[in-house]
């Protein structure tokens, strides 16, 4: 099969996004939050953990700690207990407390609006920063690349990379910037509903005619 040109790939990506928007009109961030800092905390907790588990934990966590100051002053051992079930709780607790202290010290408790500033905070990498900007501020500086995006982007042959940063850089060249935020949510919804890792339902997939990996 001849290698697809970048122009053809861009055109196919537009069709893919259009089809997914029709299939998942309500696609959005699945983490529960009431303010941007809560979103940042929830995203830190979501590393190597399901959003469903994070939402269970944060339901009580955000009742207990209401502000950036609360998290900055929290007893680290107590915070570890509060978030224990999300896994990697020691590192996550350290990041949540330290980032809250940084926010108070450098940003008057406000969450920065640029990726360059966000990634300077403890526990915040490109992925977490892009989630905060996209779901919190509706700002697109990057594309959130999680396990669904890695797997489905490869199946769709939008990329052949396995490294998240390389995938993000390639997708940013292919996708229209206005779709950078929604793209991740669409692939997550599709990965949960149809393109399930070990049992993809290709015959009933809305992308079967656009996916080189479809088995129909």
pLDDT score for 3: 81
Task: Clarify whether residues 126 and 199 are in a common domain.
Answer: no
CA distance 148 to 131: 15
Task: Clarify whether residues 112 and 50 are in a common domain.
Answer: yes
In a domain, 85, yes or no: yes
Domain with 94 in it: what CATH number?
1.10.340.30
Task: Clarify whether residues 23 and 102 are in a common domain.
Answer: no
Q: What is the pTM of this model?
A: 0.93
Q: What are phi and psi of 170, to 5 degrees?
A: -70, -45
- Of 137, 172, 194, the domain-final residue: 137
Give pLDDT tens digits for 135-174.
999 999 999 999 999 999 999 999 999 999 999 999 999 9
- Helix, strand and coil in the chain, % to nearest 5: 60, 0, 40
Q: Quick check: helix, strand or coil at residue 145?
A: coil
- Of 118, 137, 156, the domain-final residue: 137
Give pLDDT tens digits for 57-66.
999 999 999 9
pLDDT per position in the chain (216 positions), as tens? 568 899 999 999 999 999 999 999 999 999 999 999 999 999 999 999 999 999 999 999 999 999 999 999 999 999 999 999 999 999 999 999 999 999 999 999 999 999 999 999 999 999 999 999 999 999 999 999 999 999 999 999 999 999 999 999 999 999 999 999 999 999 999 999 999 999 999 999 999 999 999 987
Task: Clarify whether residues 182 and 124 are in a common domain.
Answer: no
Task: Clarify whether residues 21 and 69 are in a common domain.
Answer: no
In a domain, 163, yes or no: yes
In a domain, 214, yes or no: no
Number of domains present in the structure of the chain: 2
Domain ranges, residue 67: 36-137
């Amino acid at each position: 099969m001849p290698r697809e040109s970048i122009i053809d790939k861009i055109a196919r990506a537009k069709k893919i996004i259009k089809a997914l928007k029709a299939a998942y009109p309500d696609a959005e961030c699945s983490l529960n939050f009431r303010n941007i800092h809560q979103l940042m905390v929830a995203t830190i907790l979501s590393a190597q953990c399901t959003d469903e588990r994070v939402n269970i934990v944060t339901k009580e966590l955000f009742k207990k700690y209401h502000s950036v100051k609360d998290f900055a002053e929290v007893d680290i051992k107590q915070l570890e207990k509060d978030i224990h079930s999300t896994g990697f709780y020691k590192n996550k607790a350290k990041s949540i407390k330290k980032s809250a202290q940084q926010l108070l010290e450098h940003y008057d408790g406000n969450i920065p609006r640029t990726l360059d500033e966000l990634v300077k905070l403890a526990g915040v990498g490109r992925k977490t920063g892009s989630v905060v900007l996209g779901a919190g501020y509706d700002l697109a500086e990057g594309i959130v690349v999680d396990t669904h995006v890695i797997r489905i982007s490869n199946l769709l042959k939008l990329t052949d990379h396995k490294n998240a940063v390389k995938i993000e850089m390639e997708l940013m060249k292919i996708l229209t910037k206005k779709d950078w935020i929604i793209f991740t949510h669409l692939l997550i919804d599709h990965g949960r509903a149809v393109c399930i890792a070990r049992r993809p339902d290709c015959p009933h997939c809305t992308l079967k005619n656009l996916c080189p990996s479809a088995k129909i």
